[in-house]
Amino acid sequence: MKISTRTRYGIRTMLEIATGKPNAGIFQKDIARNQAISNKYLDHIIHALKASQLICNVKGKKSGYMLTRKPSEISLYDIHNAFEPGICIIECLSGNYECKRQTDCLAIGFWKNLNGLIVDYFKSVTIDDLIKKKIKTIKNVF
């Protein structure tokens, strides 16, 4: 499983917006500059985040982009789903794949469990967790 660049940039964009001035928006050009993302590519990221109702564009004195919910209410799964249709670590778990070995596959339970753990982890981590550095690194993984 590889996390897409769009998802990674989406998370970076959400963090940039969340860590901005309280009750004020942040301009796209500032997000692009601060996160070293091209304005053109950021257009696609912003569009997807707006379409998923994770951010909104505020007009007026405090204009710019703002989160639509508190950082503690926005999970990485929410952000991932703005760009990808769910998480699927192997093709045979997707709804569109017909595996001829599915009934005889001895590993399918493992793959389903692993996929479920990843989904649950994405759902459990919020923007607020990343900001407050509440994520503990798992040691001795590699």
CATH number at residue 94: 1.10.10.10
* Residue 139 within a domain: no
For the cut 60, the answer to whether the pLDDT of residue 142 exceeds it is no
The chain-wide mean pLDDT, for the chain, equals 91
Evaluate whether residue 136 is within a structural domain.
no
Q: What is the pLDDT of residues 4-31, one digit of tens each?
A: 999 999 999 999 999 998 888 999 999 9
Domain of 103, in residue numbers: 5-131
Share of residues in the chain with pLDDT > 90 (%): 68
Supply the pTM of this predicted model: 0.88
Distance (Å, rounded) from C-alpha 122 to C-alpha 76? Answer: 5
Q: Is residue 140 in a domain?
A: no
Tokens representing residue 65 in the block: 């982009």
Please give the tally of structural domains in the chain. Answer: 1
Distance CA(136)–CA(117), nearest Å, equals 16
Question: Is position 82 within any domain?
Answer: yes
Residue 138 within a domain: no
What pLDDT band is residue 61 in, cutting at 50, 70 and 90?
A: confident
